[in-house]
Structure 1
């Protein structure tokens, strides 16, 4: 029986992703690069790339490696999809940076408040 959730779609996607990773024999880098290539082929929106920013950072992927994937698949998926993906990836990184900045500001505010109340 399914359990109730406030975010059933996200929970389902997370479960599918975990299952996929557990069944896949690829190393982290290859897995993330493969997923990014699939997102490009589908002309995925920025939010789809955003979900892969943290795993890409944890896998120590470089911008050059991401660019290499775009170069490698361009003849197959076409330049329009690659250019669209480049923009979406840039947007995803921008959102990730903004979220990290916002989180850092919230932590700094909380620390300042806790020092002020001590």
Structure 2
């Protein structure tokens, strides 16, 4: 039933899993490349959010993300980096809000 409720998210999760399985890159390198690609295509906050869990699971840190944005800035340009930083902040804020709501619900239940 859960798959019927979130078919798009489930498909995106499947695509991410297949990408990790089939890539010749180490998972950490793959996720760094994805973050760079997200910045390059001016991805929305939701795209960063969809990759955040996997990135954290493979050890990507805030410093890593900052380093990637600095590295690609000369290629993608200032507007894309500013947009990426804003979208990352929005995604992080959303993730924190969801986590806080889950903790609050657990405390009440």
Shift of 1:6: 3.4
Distance 1:22 1:58 in 2: 15
Return 5+ residue gaps in structure 2 as ranges. Answer: none
The alignment's TM-score, normalised by the length of structure 1, stands at 0.83
Match of 2:92 in 1: 93
Are the equivalent residues in 2 in contact too, given 1:28–1:59 (CA < 8 A)? yes
1:5 aligned counterpart, secondary structure = helix
| Unmatched runs of 5 consecutive residues or more in structure 1 | 111-118
Query: Which aligned segments of 4 or more residues in structure 1 are displaced greater than 4 angstroms?
Result: none
- Does 1:16 pair with 2:15? yes
* CA deviation after TM superposition for structure 1 residue 65, in Å: 1.0
Q: CA deviation at 1:12?
A: 2.2
The equivalent of 2:106 in structure 1 is 107
Normalised to the residue count of structure 2, the TM-score between the two structures is: 0.89
* Largest Rg, 1 or 2: 1
Partner of 2:29: 30
